[in-house]
Amino acid sequence: MISVIIVNYHCADLSIRAMASVQAQAVPHEILLVDNSVSPSEADRLAANLPPQTRLIVSPSNLGFGRACNQAYARARGDMILLLNPDALLHPGCLEQLCKPLLADRRIGAVGPRIFWDSARHYLLPPSIHPGPEQLLWHSMNCRYAGLREYYSQRFRAQAIRLWQRQDPCRVDALSGGLALLSRKALEHAGGLFDEGFFMYFEDSDLFWRLRQAGYRLAYAPRAEASHSYEHHPAKHRLMVEAAPYYYAKHFAHAPRARLANWIARRNQSVGNIELPGTQALGVQRGPLCLPVPEQWQQGWLLEISPSPWLVPAIGQFGQGPQASIAADCWPLLHSGHYYSRLGAPLGKTGQMPVWQWSK
CATH of the domain at 307: 2.60.40.10
Residue 256 in any domain: the answer is no
Last residue of a domain, one of 171, 201, 235: 235
Q: What's the CATH number where 49 sits?
A: 3.90.550.10
Last residue of a domain, one of 206, 235, 264: 235
Residue 194 in any domain: the answer is yes
Residue 24 in any domain: the answer is yes
pLDDT at 139: 80
DSSP per-residue string spanning 230-294: --B-HHHHHHHHHHHHHHHHHHHTT-HHHHHHHHHHHT-TT----SPTT-EEEEE-SS--EEEPP
In this predicted structure, the answer to whether residue 72 has a pLDDT above a threshold of 60 is yes
Look at residues 166, 175, 196, 8 and name the one whose alpha carbon lies nearest to residue 86.
8
Examine the domain organization and report whether 230 and 333 are in the same domain.
Answer: no
Cα-Cα-Cα-Cα dihedral sign, residues 272, 274, 279, 280? negative
Count of the separate structural domains present in the chain: 2
pLDDT tens-digit readout, 7-40: 999 999 999 999 999 999 999 999 999 999 999 9
Look at residues 239, 151, 233, 251 and name the one whose alpha carbon lies nearest to residue 201.
239
Examine the domain organization and report whether 11 and 149 are in the same domain.
Answer: yes
pLDDT tens-digit readout, 130-181: 999 888 888 887 777 778 888 999 999 999 999 999 999 999 999 999 999 9
Domain that residue 349 falls in: 280-359
pLDDT at 236: 86
CB 149 within 8 A of CB 274: yes
Dist. CA 196–CA 218, nearest whole Å: 22
**Residue-wise over 31-62: b if at least 16 C-beta within 10 A, else e?**
bbbbbbbebeebbebbeebeeeebeebbbeeb
Other CB atoms within 10 A of residue 129 CB:
16
Look at residues 32, 35, 47 and name the one whose alpha carbon lies nearest to residue 10.
35
Residue 243 in any domain: the answer is no
Examine the domain organization and report whether 32 and 151 are in the same domain.
Answer: yes
pLDDT at 25: 98
Q: How confident is the model at residue 274 (pLDDT cuts 50, 70, 90)?
A: confident
Examine the domain organization and report whether 231 and 289 are in the same domain.
Answer: no
Half-sphere exposure of 279 (CA within 13 A, CB side): 20
CB 63 within 8 A of CB 71: yes
Examine the domain organization and report whether 99 and 197 are in the same domain.
Answer: yes
Whole-model pTM?
Answer: 0.95
CB 22 within 8 A of CB 32: no
Examine the domain organization and report whether 105 and 205 are in the same domain.
Answer: yes
DSSP per-residue string spanning 86-111: TTEEEPTTHHHHHHHHHHH-TTEEEE
- Helix, coil or strand: residue 329: coil
Last residue of a domain, one of 199, 214, 235: 235
Maximum pairwise Cα distance, the chain: 58
Examine the domain organization and report whether 41 and 134 are in the same domain.
Answer: yes
